[in-house]
Structure 1
Amino acid sequence: MTNLMTYPTELLLLLFVIITFLQSALDKIMDWKGNLAWLKEHFSKTPFKNMVPMLLGTVLVTEIVAGLLCSIGFYQLLAAGEGSIAFVGAILACLALLMLLLGQRIAKDYDGARTIAIYFVPAIFLVFLLQS
């Protein structure tokens, strides 16, 4: 209970990242074909047009690993006050968001890019709070 009162902001932000990335990864897994079809159209006029399946897989793996590391880090921070795994998960979450941002910018989807930027703010703040 002590760590809950010591690290409330970090724990809440970790929950935000966990929910965001594990739900996004689950959506990609459950509707791979739908996501792939939409993204192929989205990137049809970009240099990424022939790499969509590989890029989607890369984002999926990054989201899963970020979500899992943040989940483990949440437990460690809560149980022992140790935030190193959460820190790595938060950095990976930021890298995933930067990948998504690059894609939206390349596709000239500026509204989509703005949405990614909104998610980036709490993720980078989490990195700031967890750095030793």
Structure 2
Amino acid sequence: MTNLYNFITEILILLFILITFLQSGIDKATDWKGNTGWLKEHFKETFMGGMVPLMVGIIMILEIITGLLAVLGIIWILLYNNSAWAFYTCLMAAITLLMLLFGQRVAKDYAGAFTITGYFIVVIFGIYLLS
């Protein structure tokens, strides 16, 4: 229980990452057609228009891995008082968010890019706490 108290902020950030990324990855897997269809339209005027299925696949895999890493990070903190996996989770989340931000900027979806900023701030704060 001491680890829960000592790492409560980090655990809450990991729970945030877990919910955000795992849900998004699972949504892409279960609604592949809907996601790729919407994104093909979103990127149709960009150099990335023909790469949508590949991009969605890569992002889906990264999101699921990040969500699973968050679970591992929570377990390692609670059982072993070790935050290394939590740090790797936040790092992976930051990389994934930067990829998403890049896509939104290329598509000139500036409002969508701005919403990623909130997620990124939480993740960067996690990196700061864990480094």
TM range (shorter): over 0.9
SS of structure 2 residue aligned to 1:51: helix
Q: Which amino acid aligns with 1:96?
A: T
Shift of 1:85: 1.2
Deviations 1:86-130 (A, max 9, x none): 111110011110000000000000000001111100011111111
Aligned to 1:31: 31
What is the distance in 1 between the residues matched to 2:60 and 2:127? 21
Aligned to 1:62: 62
SS of structure 2 residue aligned to 1:50: helix
Instruction: Indicate whether 1:93 and 2:93 are aligned.
Output: yes
Aligned to 2:129: 129
For 1:75-86, what aligned pairs fall within 5 Å after superposition? 75-86=75-86
Count, aligned residues: 131
Shift >3 Å, 4+ stretches: none
Aligned to 1:8: 8
What is the distance in 2 between the residues matched to 1:130 and 1:55? 30
What is the distance in 1 between the residues matched to 2:130 and 2:65? 18
Q: Which amino acid aligns with 1:107?
A: A
- 1:11, 1:78 within 8 Å by CA — same for their partners in 2? no
- What TM-score, normalized to structure 1? 0.97
What is the distance in 1 between the residues matched to 2:78 and 2:127? 17
Q: Which amino acid aligns with 1:26?
A: I
Aligned to 2:113: 113
**Unmatched tracts of structure 2, length 5 or more:** none
- 1:94, 1:124 within 8 Å by CA — same for their partners in 2? yes
Deviations 1:53-79 (A, max 9, x none): 111111011111111111101111112
- What TM-score, normalized to structure 2? 0.98
Bigger Cα displacement from structure 2, 97-106 vs 77-86 = 77-86
Aligned to 1:43: 43
What is the distance in 2 between the residues matched to 1:125 and 1:75? 20
- 1:73, 1:84 within 8 Å by CA — same for their partners in 2? yes
SS of structure 2 residue aligned to 1:108: coil
What is the distance in 1 between the residues matched to 2:19 and 2:81? 21
